[in-house]
Amino acid sequence: MTSQLPTVRLRPKANARAIRHGFPWVFADELVTDRRTRAIAPGAFALLEDEERRPLGVVTVNPNSKIIGRMMDQNPEAEIDGTWLRAKIARALALRERLYDQPFYRLVHAEADGLPGTIIDRFGDVAVIQPNAAWADRMIADLAEALREVTGVSTVIMNGQGRVRGLEGLDERTEILSGQIAGPVEVPMNGATYLADVIGGQKTGLFYDQRPNHAFAQRLAKGARVLDVFSHVGGFGLAMLAGGARKATCVDGSAAALALAGQGAERMGMADRFTARQGDAFAVLEALAEEGAEFDVVICDPPAFAPSKPALEAGLRAYERVARLAAPLVAPGGYLGLCSCSHAVDLAAFRNSSARGIGRGGRRMQLLHSGQAGPDHPTLPQLAETGYLKALFFRLDG
């Protein structure tokens, strides 16, 4: 295949050693971008060479992206076709089948599973693909076919929404590639029942990454009054109801997401212990304080306040504000869980921001537990972005 591919070459100052050791990206300022390179169609494949013309492997090239090259295979003879895709998906499936008793999980976690920029979440017989890189968008039909062959799912949905596709120069669209979908999909997780809107919901319809953090929160929930802020379809709230919470209040800006949370509580037989409150999370936190509300466990799982480095400082201030507003709502001796899914915020910065906010909220704290995404979201040690999720659980006094 090598002779059939165009060749792209690293600049002399680019770190070829990092790529040889597993770093999967080539940035635009690291590649020689002559007329031939700029003429490569977004999502096409090329042979990557170092400055001395030694092959590093097959990359997918997108001249429209700051990440101009993504490593597909370190074997320069690799052919990226249906056979190659089936092997990657089969390897990912083998891990998930070892980890989980039921087919509800993140099946492919992008670079960490060897499919750059590609997310696949599985909901039983339904799978949702997020092709966030140009190559995956071009090969979406091949991806869907390989997915069906390897896993046996019948319904495959392409969810082409979100900020990342814009950075790749891709349009937004959602499409049912095979099978049919009648409505939200029921998902069992940690003893709770969730409803995932895989067509019109946020991302793929459910956030599997918080599964282990939901489980930790359950250990704090028995007999507790629970507040789940930025709850989406009831992530922490329903998990803690399943763990024995006396009452769960879910707060979110989306009426549709809260409706699904309520339906999940109904299917669990716990509708009488569930309350929804729609509105801006910051405004609701302030209103609850004015009402004198008090909870034994408060969880705040906001969207990414710092999705990129330029947004870092503003994002850290937002996380501090969440902690400051949430801390006074926690009963003495109660628990506060704070989460961040921001790529640009590392654990130390998030911990410091959270602690400042709790202190400004007039509370003393113990840090009990630091959580991350579950093992169906493996990380590449060379790529910090694959380990984006952070969850901190505090016990508050004072």
So which residues are the catalytic ones?
A: 341
Q: In the block, which residue shows the tokens 């929160």?
A: 217
If DSSP codes are grouped into helix, strand and coil, which group holds residue 50?
A: coil
Residue 264: which H helix or E strand, with range? helix 255-267
Instruction: Supply 161's token pair.
Output: 């929404």
* Contact (Cβ atoms closer than 8 angstroms) between residue 264 and residue 233: yes
* Contact (Cβ atoms closer than 8 angstroms) between residue 233 and residue 152: no
Q: Give me the phi and psi of 113, to 5 degrees please.
A: -110, 15
* Contact (Cβ atoms closer than 8 angstroms) between residue 131 and residue 108: no
DSSP percent split of the chain into helix, strand, coil, nearest 5? 35, 30, 35
Instruction: Determine the residue type at 273.
Output: R
Measured distance CA(278)–CA(254) in Å, rounded = 7
117 secondary structure, DSSP code: T
Helix axes 312-326, 347-360, angle to 10 degrees: 40
Calculate the dihedral angle through the C-alpha atoms of 115, 109, 201, 162, rounding to the nearest 10 degrees.
-60
* Contact (Cβ atoms closer than 8 angstroms) between residue 8 and residue 59: yes
Closest CA to 127 of 211, 205, 233: 205
Q: Is the dihedral of CA 157, 205, 387, 26 positive or negative?
A: positive
Instruction: Supply 378's token pair.
Output: 């493996």
Measured distance CA(251)–CA(254) in Å, rounded = 9
The CA-atom distances, in angstroms, between 180 and each of 122, 125, 197, 257 are 15, 10, 13, 22
